[in-house]
Structure 1
Amino acid sequence: METQTQKPQTNNRHLVLYPYPLQGLINPMLQLANILHSKGFSITIIHTHFNSPTKSKHPHITFLPISDGLSKTEASTEDIISLVTLLNTNCVAPFRDCLAGLLADGPIACLITDALFHFSQSVADGFGLPRIVLRTSSIFSFMVFATLPAIHEKYFSKQDFQLESPVPEAPPLQVKDLPTITTKDSNDLYKFITNMVTQTKASSGLIWYTFSELEESALSQSRKLFPIPNFPIGPFHKSFPASSSSLLIQDKSSISWLDTQKPKSVLYVSFGSIAEMGVKEFNEMAWGLANSMQPFLWVVRPGLVRGSEWLEALPSGYAEKIGDRGCIVKWAPQQEVLAHFAVGGFWTHNGWNSTLESICEGVPMICSPCFGDQLVNAKYVSDVWGIGLRFEKGVERGEMERRIRRVMVEREGEEMRERILCLKEKVDVCLKEGGSSYQHLEELSSYILSF
């Protein structure tokens, strides 16, 4: 068995973590690993070869790779449900064998696995080990996912369903806000969700990448649906930055460019590590940004535009049009960018990491959700917390230009900034001694030591 460092300590402070291999899910698990290490636990991370983390950045953690059994075509994020289904099948034996080897060396206090790896509950049970689940989404979106099969059947099976219709089972959502995940077989999606929820209920505890004050009502619902200890101990990244766990190379030149801009003047644009768009939508974005006359830092990740390597899809003469007012990079150090004095808005896909990072830095958002929990997160950002504006699909450049200006330079944007700064203050308080996340982390540590 291949190891990165020495064998782990053999005591009841040894934890084994198992992240799901996507950028947005690896980051919180590695941040959690660092947090728990700072509490005196020794950490081993079992991980797949697909999207394996950068081990050299975490010398205090033992990394153990296992086979994921994925072919080159299967090792793709094009169909997330197909990928997660394969991994929950292929990884059972390698994960069990790896765990058996670790147990031969000494005791393990507990497993902490991503909720998406639902198979790990039966493996934990087989060894008599407690399993704690990490869920890297918002609580309210997970509550929606838990009821998704029934909700989808009710609303999307009708020929005449209305996107604006309310969903009484999941207020304040409308049908258009319900999570959608494209997959070749919707039965695979519903089977996966059922397994994930069932095995989360069977676990010994649930760690949330959020904080109590942001999601009080959802946390109350979670404790009823999952009557196990719930620990909202986020946001993790305020203790351990994600840059040390990024799977993509960050372009630091974006920071030196931001240094030359006026305070709160720059719109930061990034749609995460998976989202894709067509050439037409990309072009509308490009002109919306250019015509807004606002400085912008735009992350155009290779693969963002379908059928394009990088910037070939930009309109002819675009670079001359924007001049020094725009900066385009392949990837940026997002937490550093959002904390920069020059950034006044964030045009985002509303993945939970990005949403929470924006809240933590007091940066109002323009929301362009693509799939999954992003639709639910965008609803809360725009309509519940009032800290952003949402774009519907198919918006043209003129409307994009108007909304950019509404957030960046008009009174409406100032009011959003005031509201999000109030949430930022709550983040700062929750992490300090006596704060909610601080207390829940103390409780989690004590709980693990009680096993």
Structure 2
Amino acid sequence: MENCGNGTRTHRRVVLFPLPFQGHINPMLQLANILHTHGFKITVIHAEYNSPNYSNYPHFTFKSIKDNFSEIADELATNPDGSYFINYLNRSCVDSFKECLSGLLDKEAVACLIADAGFYFTQAVADELNLPRMALRTSSLAASLVYGALPFYSNKDCFNLTKEDSDYEERVPEYPLMKFKDIVKITTNPQGMGDFVTNMLDQMKASKGIIWNTFKELEGSLLETFSQDYPVPSFTLGPFHKYFPASSSSLIQQDRTILSWLDNQPPKSTIYVSFGSVAHISELEFREVAYALANISLPFLWVVRPGIVRGSNWIEALPEKFLERVGDMGRIVKWSPQQEVLAHPATGCFWTHNGWNSTLESICEGVPMICSPCFVDQPTNARYVSDVWKIGVFLEDGFERVGIESAIKRVMMDKEGEEMRERINCLKEKVNQSLGEGGSSHESLKSLVDYISSF
């Protein structure tokens, strides 16, 4: 199962441990591939839940550990508190992870452990086993700064504001870019989220270094700010997915037939809609999306993940005769090869939940965004996309057809949209430069390889 790639390389083994959610598994396995191409042998320890497909990675060694996540997995569809699930995993995986890692160390020297920063318990295990631990932060630098600033303990009530509250539209004093209506989305449980954030950031500071899936030209100033309080080595070598041709560690079967449908659409004409692998929406919100897409009369590709609509299996909640009305102008699929869709000349904008992987992929292909964040880091990413980088429109007031249609027109038809496209194409060029010889991400990767080799 192991292959050092180049037979002359004799680098040591690196052990990686991703959180078992699509948005965390993807960048961890991408990082594993990057390190493998630089000669490191790779072992991936993973939870039972959302187990990766071993056959896609014959050059890695995989070790599965018990997580007991099946006891609460059914709650994912109804419980919007992300910290509940991650804090649970940080308790349930301790013994099985320690046993697995200890067994690996008995058999072979390991250079270091690279754990998802969200698996904060791993620092204590690594310390006990005298193994260097690095943290992979799979979200933006911006999100970590916002998490560190928000008053999860001192002002819990501000996370429960509604539209009727006078402060709902106001800026958050601790991080004035954000509005209170943004942080309401971040968590429904400020105590649990505060516990998670505190543990995660404390153990990032205690680690031997932090690896970021971002690039300096986008978040360099934020890295400088972060490093003032977290003086450990940081490596910004993203975007990870750009190191290889479009590949997939998707846990859901992709519908590739839509690529030929896109081939028949005019350049930059098509709205691509996808809200990621975890988010859920109500039947009413789903219908508002449908009405807006039908009314706008532009080609659209809409990813409707089975189960995304609460109470529905798939698309039963569509308005009557919706499919007949839109005809071949629109396509609905269960999952898509997203990198290829965003890179397609026909794709004109990306209506997204602003998970960090999706946000980066859109930047890399120069596709402006419509932002509908759901929870955790997504509202921060959306706020930076719309207000700082100015490469998208934030649908701040939820799924309402008139607002949706207005946002689509701003991106697809107005001069404002042309300016967004120019800015995001500039960032696309900066991505390519950062990954090239002498670029910031290229140099950061070289530094990371040298750093791991020094352990």
Q: Which of 303, 322, 336 is the aligned partner of 1:332? A: 336
Is 1:146 paired with 2:145? no
C-alpha separation in 1, matches of 2:157 and 2:441:
37
Distance in 1 between residues matched to 2:62 and 2:160, nearest whole Å: 48
2-structure distance, mates of 1:371, 1:58: 31
Most deviating of 307-316 and 160-169: 160-169
1:402 has 2:406 as partner: yes
| Aligned position for 2:392 | 388
Asked if the contact 1:241/1:335 (under 8 Å) is kept, the reply is no
Shift of 1:189: 2.1
Is residue 32 from structure 1 mapped to residue 31 from structure 2 by the alignment? yes
Query: CA RMSD of the aligned region, Å?
Result: 2.1
Whichever residue aligns with residue 364 of structure 1, its letter is P
- Bigger Cα displacement from structure 2, 21-30 vs 392-401: 392-401
Measure the CA separation in 1 of the matches of 2:179 and 2:349.
26
CA deviation string 1:9-40 (max 9, x = no partner) = 99762100000000001000000000000111
Equivalent residue, structure 2, for 1:110: 112
| Aligned 8 A contact 1:27 1:242 in 2 | no
Matches within 5 A, 1:203-218: 203-218=207-222
1:146 Cα deviation from its structure 2 partner:
1.8
Cα distance in 1 for residues equivalent to 2:314 and 2:106: 49
Distance 1:442 1:118, change over 3 A: same
Mark the runs of 5 or more structure 1 residues left unpaired by the alignment. none
Deviations 1:89-122 (A, max 9, x none): 1111111111111111111000000011000000
Which position in structure 2 is the counterpart of 1:119?
A: 121
1:274 paired with 2:278, answer yes
Q: Does structure 2 retain, via aligned residues, the 8 Å contact 1:362–1:417?
A: yes
Aligned match of 2:12: 13
Taking a change above 3 Å as real, the CA distance of residues 156 and 332 of structure 1, as seen in their structure-2 partners, is same
User: Match for 1:258: what amino acid?
Assistant: L
Q: Secondary structure at the match of 1:109?
A: strand
Give distance in 2, aligned partners of 1:423 and 1:179: 30
- Select 2:175's aligned residue among 170, 181, 186: 170
Indicate the SS of the match to 2:69. Answer: coil
CA distances 1:364-390 after superposition (whole Å, capped 9, x unpaired): 011111111111111111111111111
Do the aligned partners of 1:272 and 1:351 also contact (CA within 8 Å) in 2? yes
Tell me if 1:431 matches 2:430: no
Instruction: Give 1:400 deviation, angstroms.
Output: 1.5
Assess if the C-alpha contact under 8 Å between 1:348 and 1:368 holds in 2.
yes
- Counterpart for residue 132 of structure 1: 134
Structure 2: distance between partners of 1:151 and 1:388: 32
Q: Do 1:173 and 1:376's aligned partners in 2 also have CA atoms closer than 8 Å?
A: yes
Q: CA deviation at 1:396?
A: 2.4
Q: What is the one-letter code of the residue matched to 2:405?
A: E
For the 8 Å contact 1:302–1:330, the answer to whether it is kept is yes
Q: 1:394 Cα deviation (Å)?
A: 3.9
Q: 1:377 to 1:445 in 2, by over 3 A?
A: same
Give the C-alpha shift of residue 71 in structure 1. 3.2
AA at the equivalent of 2:209: G
Q: Distance in 1 between matches of 2:274 and 2:149?
A: 30
Alignment-mate amino acid for residue 31 of structure 1 = Q
Partner amino acid for 1:209?
Answer: N
Partner of 1:240: 244
With normalisation by structure 2, the TM-score equals 0.94
The equivalences for 1:257-406 within 5 A come to 257-406=261-410
Task: Give, as a single letter, the amino acid of the residue that structure 1 aligns with 2:30.
Answer: Q
Q: Which moved more, 1:261-270 or 1:84-93?
A: 84-93
Local SS of the residue matching 1:354:
helix
Percent of pairs identical after alignment?
A: 56
How far off is 1:195 after superposition?
Answer: 0.9
Distance in 1, matches of 2:351 and 2:395, equals: 10
Structure 1, 329-338 or 171-180: larger mean CA deviation: 171-180
Contact 1:11 1:108 in 2 (8 A): no
1:90 and 1:99 map into 2 onto residues whose CA distance is 15
Structure 1 stretch displaced more, 240-249 or 26-35: 240-249
Distance 2:176 2:151 in 1: 17
- TM-score w.r.t. length of structure 1: 0.94
